[in-house]
Amino acid sequence: MSDLYRSAMQARLAKLPQLPHPASDAGEEEEETDSIGALPSSTMAPPRQRSRRTPNPAFTPLSGASFFSDALQVDVPASQLDMRVYYTAPQARQGAGTVMVCHHGAGFSGLSFACFSKEVSEMTAGECGVLSVDARRHGKTVPTGGSPDEDLSISTLVQDLTNLIQTIFPDPSAAPTFLLVGHSMGGAVVVRACPLLQELKYTVGGVAVLDVVEGTALEALPHMPMILNARPDGFGSIEEAIEWHVTANQIRNPTSARISVPSLIVPSPSDPQTLRLHPFVWRTPLRSTASYWESWFKGLSSSFLSARSARLLVLAGTDRLDKELMIGQMQGKFQMVVVPGTGHMLHEDDPSKLAETLVEFWRRNERVVAGIKKVGEL
């Protein structure tokens, strides 16, 4: 979830971050107190619009075309979704190879793994592929047949990912080995998808969770309304949205932000009665996902530790683990790596370091000596 893990740790120090708002005109504060019921009439002046800033060329959007081989819309009838995936297939020397299946956090999209994907391809000379997914209500994934897509419960998200894998790779015996990688909410999805895919006879070589721990995530939930209040409701341009993410330290890598942020916003619906006008608004307003937060993270630690595959936890700081993970770490049940100098979006902040970590994790667990079981195998 956006800013969840890092903000929770800051909350423990009793000091939540005060994130900067995009530049606004002098009357904006007054407009925030207007009632939504105070609609303009014939005796009222028309609603004021924010003065538009000239887009900063330093934050011009970048295409993800050079970071993945393909961008595809995949019809997934079982989920009633037309799902956007970004894919670079493995150039396997033998067999079907390995694909890192990446699932983003709440409010983000598959393009948050764009720079990471390119690093993986270069480090492995194409031997390891990357498949990055837009979840329902995110990015360019859309419902089909007029079906609703509001449900972001953990069971639905897990089933969506499983259905997608079955659609793209219908024959488990011919499918590549999967290394499941999930950031924040996505981490909760991949650890629960792992046993389902294995039951379907797919090979899962490892599960990697990025910057989320159950105990810390659940402790952070009461602070989320305050955190979300620090986020702007909309933006004057795509460049302004990118700039906010960078200057607010939401994403510390400007190149990655220029690729991923455009997929997080959409043109604002036309509404002449709207008092505060933003040309662009959030594609997935995080407040609208609040009813699902607890379901995402409750039971995450036990699901992670029970995964019958190699396990990796990557954190942005040396923050304490919850009790279950602390015991698991002492028992050697998973590998933990800290990526210094990054925030919650560590896969965007330092894609090279994360790629190095995951490629090493893949190589170590993909080439285990015959007869020796991998970590977590029965």
Place 53 in a pLDDT band, splitting at 50, 70 and 90.
confident
Examine residue 103 and state whether it is found in any structural domain, yes or no.
Answer: yes
Total domains present in the chain: 1
Nearest partner of 192 among 150, 149, 162, judged by Cα:
162
Predicted TM-score (pTM) of this structure: 0.83
Examine residue 118 and state whether it is found in any structural domain, yes or no.
Answer: yes
Structural domain boundaries enclosing 90: 70-221+290-366
Facing residues of 231 across strands? Answer: none
Segment 47-57 mean pLDDT: 67
C-alpha 181/C-alpha 243 separation (Å) is 27
Q: What is the share, in percent, of the chain residues with pLDDT greater than 90?
A: 74
In this predicted structure, the answer to whether residue 300 has a pLDDT above a threshold of 90 is yes
Q: Active-site residue numbers?
A: 184, 211, 344
Examine residue 154 and state whether it is found in any structural domain, yes or no.
Answer: yes
Facing residues of 72 across strands? Answer: 85
Average pLDDT, the chain: 85
The pLDDT tens digits for 349-374 are 999 999 999 999 999 987 543 334 44
The pLDDT tens digits for 92-141 are 766 789 999 999 999 999 999 999 999 999 999 999 999 999 999 999 99
Facing residues of 280 across strands? Answer: 235, 267
Examine residue 258 and state whether it is found in any structural domain, yes or no.
Answer: no
Backbone angles phi, psi at 253, to 5 degrees: -110, 105
Contact 242, 258 (CB under 8 A): yes
Examine residue 156 and state whether it is found in any structural domain, yes or no.
Answer: yes
Segment 11-23 mean pLDDT: 37
Contact 348, 260 (CB under 8 A): yes
Which CATH number is 123's domain given? Answer: 3.40.50.1820
Examine residue 264 and state whether it is found in any structural domain, yes or no.
Answer: no
Examine residue 29 and state whether it is found in any structural domain, yes or no.
Answer: no
Examine residue 373 and state whether it is found in any structural domain, yes or no.
Answer: no
C-alpha 359/C-alpha 322 separation (Å) is 27
